[in-house]
Amino acid sequence: MMRCFVSVGLSEKARQSLAGFQKEAYERLSLFAKLKQVEEQNLHLTLAFIGELSEPEAEKAKKALGSIKLEKFPIIISRLGFFGSTHSPRVIYLSVPSKELSELSAAVAGALKTAKLAIKTRAVKPHLTLFRIKQAFNPGALIKEIKALSELPLNLEQEVGSFELMSSKLTQSGPVYQKIASFILL
């Protein structure tokens, strides 16, 4: 069994820019919370969490995702946000407001449902995780600082020309991601 998700990889330029932003954000946010930073090589744009798949199920997922025929499109990675409540935030992420990205995410969910993998698929807002919050010392101040950082003009552009089926192996030093298959957009 392997833990799987679907994502969009980042260009080297985007990774480097995000690493700089992530460093600045860490310095400001770590005053209010114990954070686990996503390593630069692991930064990606999450489209869907699938869950545990056997080898045959992963093959079904590959076939289903390979049936998606959409055109490539540009995105702008822009605003900082958080998942969880204001009293207990869990994840700090960057959002990517894009109609085309939402369409790709919906196509991924539809393809997985057609492959009868929908039971293990949970809906997800496309996002780029920067930090996992291990403990918030001052949740109110943390949320206020996230909102302040969200006003910074990041506006990082990238073209989405493909997406990937990935596996994630959890280790004591953090997750290790491996590309199972890549799917090119038209």
Out of 32, 44, 75, 93, the active site residue is 44
How many other C-beta atoms can be found within 10 angstroms of the C-beta atom of residue 64?
19
C-alpha radius of gyration, the chain, whole number: 17
Q: Which of 123, 33, 125, 143 is nearest to 82 (CA)?
A: 143
DSSP codes of every residue in 18-83: HHHHHHHHHHHHTTTEEEEEPPGGG--EEEEEEEEE-HHHHHHHHHHHHT-----EEEEE-EEEEE
Question: Does 87 qualify as catalytic in the annotation?
Answer: no
Q: Are 120 and 3 in contact (CB under 8 A)?
A: no
- Tokens of residue 6, six digits: 């679907």
Residue in this structure with the two tokens 């699938």, named with its chain if needed: 50
Out of 104, 108, 126, 127, the active site residue is 127
Q: Return d(Cα 146, Cα 52) in angstroms, integer.
A: 32
Catalytic annotation, residues = 44, 127
